[in-house]
């Protein structure tokens, strides 16, 4: 796990191309930072015993730093740490082993990401949209979250189909295997499967018809590199504060999806449309939609 040591002031929170860094205030003169590496789902807390000033501290003390921005940063810090605690708590629950089996059978995502998808699907208000279902790993995790929520929630999965060469999850017919897997895990009746490319007018129309007046409380985005295109296609349906799980944001440069995906998400964060809350597993960005909507997401 890679890490960097930075001296920060209270409330500072930002994402870099390799890690999310949170500062935890201390009563001592030392400063502590929590560093999340993009190559690992774990974190490290480090102490700066020398108290040396840095450019980051000076930049945050300029006239652009306001009480509102500091409060917003502190809120994001707390929510990020809450998500880490949530993952730890789930490791002692039966769903952890259930999702481990789902991951081994059907998913390329890290187990921690499937757990968060389950958690968000269980807790969010509103519908759930997945773009890029592949053979169903994340779809099944979300369906189990809906099941355990005790509520009626729409779960829509978009998948264009095709074939994939992969040592563990290779398939000659993605849609055939996706439907079989959903039926095998007894969640087929929970999922509305839309076959097609996410940005095609007929696909967008089918999703809107399935949603009706419902807003989206969770987006799972794991398709191609055009993250902004897909977000723009459905942004008018996002509830403010909707959870966002976006894969292929960090990782090996050899992955052709990484650079354009990261550029799209970084731009949306800079425009304050997305709020970053951390990086999990191997390459997955987690955060919230802050682009506004007719109503806000309420969690139970």
Is 109 within the bounds of a domain?
yes
Q: Are residues 144 and 265 in the same domain?
A: yes
pLDDT tens string 272-282 = 999 999 999 99
Candidates 185, 234, 225; CA nearest to 206 is: 234
Same domain? For 153 and 258 the reply is: yes
* 112 and 215 assigned to the same domain: yes
Mark whether 99 and 60 lie in a shared domain. no
Strands 19-24 and 13-15: antiparallel
- Whether 157 and 276 share a structural domain: yes
Instruction: Give the integer Cα–Cα distance in Å for 36 and 23.
Output: 12
Say if 200 falls within a structural domain.
Answer: yes
149 lies in the same domain as 220: yes
- The last residue of one of the domains, among 41, 73, 105, is 73
Residue 245 forms part of a structural domain: yes
pLDDT for 284 equals 96
Q: What is the CATH number of the domain that holds 225?
A: 3.40.50.150
Q: Answer yes or no: is 189 within a domain.
A: yes
Does residue 78 form part of some domain? no
Same domain, 62 and 102: no
Tell me, yes or no, whether 5 lies in a domain: no
Query: What is the per-residue pLDDT for 3?
Result: 37
The pLDDT score that the predictor gives to residue 141 is 98
Same domain for 141 and 64 = no
Q: Is residue 299 part of a domain?
A: no
pLDDT in tens, 199-221: 999 999 999 999 999 999 999 99
Number of structural domains found in the chain: 2
Residue 2 lies in a domain: no
Report residue 280 as tokens: 């999990």
CA distances from 290 to 35, 46, 244 (A): 24, 30, 10
Which pair of structure tokens corresponds to residue 44?
A: 């490290």
Q: 166 and 41, same structural domain?
A: no
pLDDT in tens, the chain (300 residues): 443 333 333 333 444 333 444 434 333 333 334 444 433 444 433 334 444 444 444 444 445 567 777 777 877 888 999 999 999 999 999 999 999 999 999 999 999 999 999 999 999 999 999 999 999 999 999 999 999 999 999 999 999 999 999 999 999 999 999 999 999 999 999 999 999 999 999 999 999 999 999 999 999 999 999 999 999 999 999 999 999 999 999 876 667 889 999 999 999 999 999 999 999 999 999 999 999 864 555 454
Residues 163 and 51 in one domain: no
What is the edge-to-edge ordering of all strands in the sheet holding 274-280?
Answer: 191-195, 155-159, 127-131, 216-221, 238-246, 284-289, 274-280
Distance of CA 282 to the CA centre of its chain: 12
Residues 135, 44 within the same domain: no
pLDDT of the residue at 97 = 97
Range of the domain at 110: 93-289
Total residue count of the chain as it appears in this document: 300
245 in the same domain as 106: yes
pLDDT for 44 equals 36
């Amino acid at each position: 796990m890679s890490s960097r040591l930075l001296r920060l002031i209270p409330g500072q929170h930002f994402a870099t191309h390799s890690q999310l860094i949170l500062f935890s205030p201390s009563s001592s003169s030392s400063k502590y930072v929590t560093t999340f590496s993009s190559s690992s789902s774990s974190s490290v807390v480090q102490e700066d015993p020398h108290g040396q000033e840095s450019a980051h501290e000076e930049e945050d003390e300029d006239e652009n730093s306001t009480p509102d921005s500091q409060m917003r940063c502190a809120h994001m810090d707390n929510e990020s740490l809450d998500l880490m605690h949530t993952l730890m708590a789930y490791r002692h629950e039966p769903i952890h082993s259930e999702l481990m089996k789902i991951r081994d059978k059907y998913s390329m995502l890290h187990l921690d990401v499937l757990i968060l998808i389950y958690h968000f699907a269980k807790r969010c208000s509103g519908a759930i949209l997945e773009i890029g279902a592949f053979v169903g790993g994340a779809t099944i995790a979300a369906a189990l979250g809906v099941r355990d929520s005790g509520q009626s929630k729409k779960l829509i999965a978009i998948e264009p189909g095709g074939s994939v060469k992969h040592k563990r999850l290779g398939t000659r017919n993605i849609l055939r295997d996706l439907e079989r897997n959903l039926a095998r895990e007894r969640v087929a009746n929970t999922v509305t499967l839309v076959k097609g490319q996410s940005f095609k007018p007929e696909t967008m129309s089918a999703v809107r018809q399935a949603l009706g007046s419902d807003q989206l409380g969770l987006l799972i985005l794991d398709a191609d590199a055009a993250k902004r295109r897909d977000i723009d296609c459905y942004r008018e349906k996002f509830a403010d504060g909707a959870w966002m799980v976006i894969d292929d944001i960090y990782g090996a440069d050899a992955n052709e999806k990484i650079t354009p995906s990261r550029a799209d998400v970084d731009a949306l964060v800079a425009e304050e449309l997305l709020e970053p809350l951390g990086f999990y597993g191997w390459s997955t960005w987690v955060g919230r939609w802050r682009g506004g909507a007719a109503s806000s997401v309420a969690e139970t």
